[in-house]
Structure 1
Amino acid sequence: MSNADSRRRVAIAAVLTAAFMFAEIAGGLISGSLALLADAAHMFTDAGSLLLAWIGYKLAERPADSARSYGFARMKILAAFTNGILLILLSLWILWEAAQRLLAPVEVMGNLMLVVAAGGLLVNIAAFFVLHGGNQEDLNLRGALWHVAGDLLGSVAAIAAAGIILWTGWTPADPILSALVAVLVLVAGVRIMRQSGHILLEGTPEGLSASSIVSDLTQNVPGVTRITHVHAWSLTESRPLVTLEVSAAPGANPETLRRDVKARLASQFNVSHATVEVVSAPE
């Protein structure tokens, strides 16, 4: 799926999230519920993160220029990395708030909390399915998806907590269930930050290694005697890049050998952009 499709999905999710955020603010102010106001702050952060993801897609569509030969394709990876950090910070804040509420419980109006949380669940389910229908290999989209998933899980936790409060009056259910959701979101944030950070640090793409490339090319491309100076990295999660030097066997045509090596990299390793230098084999 294209960046345009992912951008459209993120925009829809952002509008849904921002719209319901105002309903939660109103519900929290009317009921005096700190839990609803905290969740509204959560949704405000998520709406900002979805906007950041949308900006990442928009900038990634800009063409290459003299100063940026690869263009702005990595902007969506940078947005994913930033969203991973925001997920971690948001999770830590929820855990802190949960600890504070366990130490100093606050009164929660279970009825209004249940109604607003149920509305939030419906909105978050809609936003989740909009994003889930996109390309799940897209790190930027996955970061946005986990922000919405965190809201969705938060709504489920709020509904469960409201039910417990209405049934038993036990208010610690709210911070305890919120903390469980925060841990899940924390794990997702760490995973997304690590994967996008690996790309930003020019790490070797998953499924590629210098040793496997060397072994495959020397065994399957006629005229190759040695492969050296192999470097593999990613521009985005779906665009691996490779540079290498090929030592040609005596009598091998350099241009034919270069084309054969590039074709093998494309067919065997899904590398569509490779820089191949062909040199004569050492005597």
Structure 2
Amino acid sequence: MGDHSHEHEAGPGHAHGSGHDHGAGGHAGHSHGVSADADRRWLAIALTLITAFMAVEVVIGVIASSLALISDAAHMLTDAASIVLALIAMRLAARPARGGFTYGLKRAEILSAQANGLTLLLLGAWLAYEGIRRLFNPPGVEGGLMLATALVGIVVNVVAAWCISKANRTSLNVEGAYQHILNDLFAFIGTAIAALIVVTTGFARADAIATLVVVALMFKAGYGLLRESGRIFLEAAPAHVDPDALGDKLVAEPAVIEVHDLHIWQITSGQAALSAHILVEPGGDCHAVRRDLEELLRHDYGITHTTLQVDHAPVPVRQVALPGDRALLPTEDAGHCEEPHGPVHREEPHEH
């Protein structure tokens, strides 16, 4: 029985047999509609805008004795840090794979996204504390100066958010920076509304109430980034792919008898990879089956980095009568995969 192992890769690199390499990655490039250079350019523009305005806002906040403006400036500092992290991560991810880093450093982008999510949660916790404290003891604020600065802040953040939206937001790394800017925009809108209320009614607690609304948005964005980056680090399948349904679809293809050791994971955001052991009927064309399955995965799921080990099944496999009968498991008859990882997908008992 021949052992036909093949790795298919949509990008520069070389094919090699993988056996049961369930952690294999590759050099497949980002399938971005926007180039990495363009991403960096847009992020750099946003960083320049935010840093310049942040310096001005700190000065005005001290002059106006406005803790709200100083807090917004602190938020903008985390925005700037998130963009710097994103830029560093993009440069690391662009480095070619070498040595022990067979993936390259593509997951530096996911580390950056996780750091951005965590800082959103921590900053949200601090602002929640400050907001609750101000509900009980609202500070005196120079409402007019606060309103003017907040309105300028809204414009700056709209421009910065637009710049980052021009980059590739399918990258969790870029999305993390975008969420920081977007939440800062909401914070400035809240500050402007609160300042307007303070100026027109003198109700100082409006600032604290607006802050707590923004905190809820920050928690939502931060949790989303941590959840998605955590899925990638834990080697979970992409959220839009059901591995069981995919396995059933593969085993329903002509000549395929069994699919096991099916693994689907993401190297980084937008780069899914798959490996599996495929058993085909005796006399079937292993190479044709492999090509058909690769095309199915590419067309239906957008997965272009696949490692498929395709083997002929022994004749007794087709006489298996009782699923779950360990004495007759095809994997044992075939001498492969004594303990398959995950569910085993088998064809329905009918002729193709």
| Range into which the TM-score falls when normalised by the shorter chain | over 0.9
Higher relative contact order (CA 8 A, sep 6+): 2
Which residue in 2 is equivalent to 1:252? 284
1:239-270 CA distances to partner (integer Å, 9 max, x unpaired)? 11111001021112323322222222112221
SS at match of 1:108: coil
Q: Which amino acid aligns with 1:58?
A: R
2:86 counterpart residue number:
53
What is the rounded CA distance, in whole Å, between the counterparts of 1:63 and 1:19 in structure 2? 34
Bigger Rg, structure 1 or 2: 2
Q: What is the 5 A alignment of 1:181-220?
A: 181-220=214-253
Distance 1:191 1:185 in 2: 10
Q: 1:3 offset after TM fit, Å? A: 2.8
3-state secondary structure, aligned to 1:205: coil
Aligned partner of 2:49: which letter? Answer: L
Q: Is the 8 A contact 2:39 2:166 kept in 1?
A: no
Instruction: State the SS of the aligned residue for 2:104.
Output: coil
Alignment correspondent of 1:223 = 255
Provide Cα deviations, 1:152-187, integer angstroms capped at 9, x if missing partner: 111111111111111011110111101101111111
Q: Does 1:27 align with 2:60?
A: yes
Whether 1:169 and 2:202 are equivalent positions in the alignment is yes
**C-alpha offsets along residues 16-54 of structure 1, whole Å, 9 cap, x if unaligned?**
111100011110111221111111111112111111111
Indicate if the aligned counterparts of 2:283 and 2:312 stay in contact, CA closer than 8 A. Answer: no
How many residues are paired up? 282
Deviation at 1:230, TM superposition (A): 0.5
CA displacement at 1:134 relative to structure 2: 2.8
Query: How far, CA to CA, are the matches of 1:88 and 1:260 in structure 2?
Result: 46
Q: How big is the alpha-carbon RMSD for the aligned residues of Structure 1 and Structure 2?
A: 1.3
Instruction: Tell me the equivalent position of 1:239.
Output: 271
1:64 to 97, 110, 114: 97
* Deviation for aligned residue 1:133: 2.5
Equivalent residue, structure 2, for 1:44: 77
- Distance in 2 of aligned mates of 1:107 and 1:153: 22
1:93-108 alignment runs, 5 A limit:
93-108=126-141
Structure-2-length-normalised TM-score: 0.77
Unaligned runs of 5+ in 2: 1-33, 317-352
**Where does structure 1 lack aligned partners over 5 or more consecutive residues?**
none
Give the Cα separation in 2 of the matches to 1:203 and 1:272.
Answer: 17
